[in-house]
A and B are shown apart, each in its own frame.
Chain A
Amino acid sequence: MWYYEKKLQYPVRVRECNPRLAKFLIEQYGGADGELAAALRYLNQRYSIPDKVIGLLTDIGTEEFAHLEMIATMVYKLTKDATPEQMKEAGLGAHYVNHDNALFYENASGTPWTASYIQAKGDPIADIYEDIAAEEKARATYQWIINMSDDPELNDGLKYLREREVVHSQRFREAAEILKEERGKKVYF
């Protein structure tokens, strides 16, 4: 089971009400390479992978939920008290008529999250390599959002999240090495 801890993993700050940036950020909330997809991908792969990497998938999957909460916090702060007019100007008019200022698991262009964003091939190598690729894609997405953002305080949080993708990628690369080790070969039934 899981326990909720009533704190963020990292101090999230944003400088100003800016629904346009929220529209871009939602990509990392409900997009293909976003934090929700990451958390669900890793936690789901745990059931069909060798025991020696289950701990890593559990812990990275859990950390992704902490990142999902950080993204939600950024979107919440960027859109809190934004008027319907401001939402419309930010390109969030269609979002507003469906959701008001509520968050929704969708990507930057408004497509709802779908389980087809994630894979579970059941092959340990295929799954771990998917995870490495997912981390690199999420890192790239953070780069593109940083390139679009002029809010230095928001960018501080985004650079932190980008760095976490780097570390997760490192650990998954190590997991691939662990799966390749000869030690696992001599199992007799």
Chain B
Amino acid sequence: MFTQRKFYTPYVSPTDPCPPIRIKSYETPPQLYLGFQPPCLPQYATAKEALYRGTLWPALYSPYESPYKRGDTGE
């Protein structure tokens, strides 16, 4: 399954002063996978939708939310 966020678990030392974040994440947006863009990819239905997505092609759309606000890194 294609995901745009990858997770890893850094080593946690018993002497680390800050409360550990056990699962960390980083972003892997679609331009890392697409290769040379093939012609005739599906487009957003309207110009306005493209504008608010920031791209004309769903294949290049990368949603982003802070990982700290949604607890994604917590568990």
Contacts and interface: CB of A to CB of B under 8 A. Distances in A.
Q: Do chains A and B make direct contact within the complex (CB under 8 angstroms)?
A: yes
Interface residues of B, number: 22
B66 A160 contact: no
Nearest to A173: B31
Interface residues of A, number: 20
A140 B67 CA distance: 13
A162 B64 contact: yes
A159 B29 contact: no
Given A170-B31, A170-B37, A174-B36, A146 B64 contact: yes
A146 to B, nearest CB: 6
A3 B53 CA distance: 26
Interface in A127-160: 139-140, 142-143, 146-147, 159-160
Contact of B54 (A164, A170, A173, A174): A164
B34 A170 contact: yes
Given A166-B55, A167-B54, A174 B37 contact: yes
B51 A167 contact: no
Nearest to B62: A166
B31 A163 contact: no
B68 A170 contact: no
A167 B66 contact: no
Contacts of B62: 162-163, 166
Interface of A: 10, 139-140, 142-143, 146-147, 159-164, 166-167, 169-170, 173-174, 177
22 contacts: A10-B51, A139-B29, A140-B27, A143-B27, A146-B66, A159-B54, A159-B63, A159-B64, A160-B52, A160-B54, A161-B54, A162-B64, A163-B60, A164-B54, A166-B54, A166-B55, A166-B60, A166-B62, A167-B31, A167-B55, A170-B34, A170-B60
Interface of B: 27, 29-31, 34, 36-37, 51-55, 60-69
